[in-house]
Structure 1
């Protein structure tokens, strides 16, 4: 009877048997985590927050006398719009320029021009700026990170300053009107250009509906492919007949042409066979050198000559038919290639047309949006209050401890991972070790009774 395993005992047995492997793996991973936590350059963070406050809602001046002004509410779209302004490349460029004027150093190449250096600095600023909405509030949290806490704070202070400056420029009524007018003209020109491209593409493809034309071409291609299959089958059959007849001509076996379904050839074949039959019957009576037999031989030779000439003509006609079939095959193949090429062009035209249609839809939506914004900016010129304003809720503050790496967390997770992976490595080594390690292994795997063991 096989004994059940004592799994807890086996676990501790394996654990102590492979303690060196487990310890080595755990020590290596734990040491790696400790070295990473201690040697990796620390990254410090700084944070600030701004709050959006509602103002008098914009209205049509014609309704001002009849409708009481309302305080606008801040919605999620407004908050996300502010985040887009904070993370705008223009704000990053303005921040980078201001920091470089203060002597702030950024990573740059040895051969970089001043413009390239400023662009690299702006990209580095954009990479370390994060902004998000605080839950259930009209506030936006802004974070930045750098290898020095004071520098991180400085970056965030300058960024907030440039963000407020840029925002005031965007929401300045007169400047906003000019900005929206320029954007409206830009989208109008792009929309006209895309519509002209779409019309030009339709004229070049010579079909307004490329998809239906492609379906029609595919149907024609299927029919042509069936015709091509039939023609190739007919070609192989015809070539087999021609090759067979030419082989028979070379062999001189006239009786082999009985398979040709032609009345004149059949008649000549029967005539030759009949003369040969008469000659053979006469040869039983007369001597082969007799005049009668010689006459039969001349008749056979003459009939065979006429028969072979007729066969040669028939073979030429069959070859001509074979060439005709081959030309038909080439014609059908060229038609299929032309349809495939046309379909490829139609597919490209269709894909480009759909892309242009999507671009036109986006431009139309943008055109409508900026048209509305232009009207709103014109209305706002008669009012003194903005739609909403932004104030700094919390000034930038830098963290004393690095935000990355968190040494305590990294060391703890490294040690924990080392222990887990060490135990896993020990059990994996034990799994591939198939030697007997206990009396129970002998009894369970061989069925033999364990009597005694000799200690090492």
Structure 2
């Protein structure tokens, strides 16, 4: 493909005014922007999260948080709307800060602030804070306020956390102590109300029950013996007219034999049934001897004396029987009361075990709370003395020697380069869109004829003057008007840096 460079150069010269106008417009705009953009000064500070100076094995800290989480919390507190507005107005960060709305002030402060956090395995956790302001003093003052806020908030949060932890465990110890007192009072009240049926005395009461049961059996045997003695005495008197305590010396041989047979009958009845032949034979002998003994009884005087002695002895036996029965009744009542306490002991054991178990649980919680209170007191002391984990300032903010932006030379050079590229692009676009016949080759291609000679368009002097006047006017507008419009926008509408920041934010760029 053959390129007619002379033709394209001629076209460029013919459309040079477009190039000059576009180049002038873009260059003038870049020069105006470079001159009108205010200088930006940057100041920064470096913060470090220091570990505890006291080993955890000696005193475990009560204020614990992940390093990055701690810095994120601090950043969120720092970037609150109220705090940013207060710092901006206190340092007069913006010229029109008093007339700016709170939202505009907060957004502008956030836009001029850069915060970078860094951490990693085996690496220190740091926070780098930068602020860009209209002057070095303002930027340094804002970063200083940022750093002071972070340090104050860190100290206040650590101290408040340690104090609240200590206060919580102190309240917990007091609560558990009161709960222990109440539980001890409940146990004591229960033991007093059930003193007769406590599990601790069950063995003693069981032994006492066995002893009383033995005594009751003895007394019942005594009562039975006394009643049997009384019945035998009455039977002897009725059969012999004598009492059992009379001496055998005054008895006849038949009476002595009768007593022996009666004693033998009593022994046999304990072994044999009344229908046994031996028992019947013995009863017949006793009946015969009773008839003989009755015939041998003395006169009425002796009989009256025996009856009187019988009454005396029977009265004595009745007294002894009544006393024994009274003792038996008391023993029965005592056994009933004792049995009732024994029956109530298992239920009391369950209740008392539950109370003691609750008391043991509360005691365990109380001991743990006391230990944790001691640990919290040590942690609170560590925070007061600033021996625990804390944020420290490594690099203080300083007033910068010069602005960091804008780079005016780069802006002007970029504008000039953009003007050149845009001017050439416009000329190329106009040439692509132009389909008119301008050279002999076009005649040959379109009409198939070969011209002998071609005559170019010749402008009159007046056309040339008008063309040059229009070009000069456009060029004057580009050189003077564009900067004037940019200046007016910067002064009366919105600063250029704010406009650029919004455009960059819309495009997702970081200036």
TM-score w.r.t. the length of structure 2 is: 0.40
TM-score w.r.t. the length of structure 1 is: 0.44
Q: Which has the larger radius of gyration?
A: 2
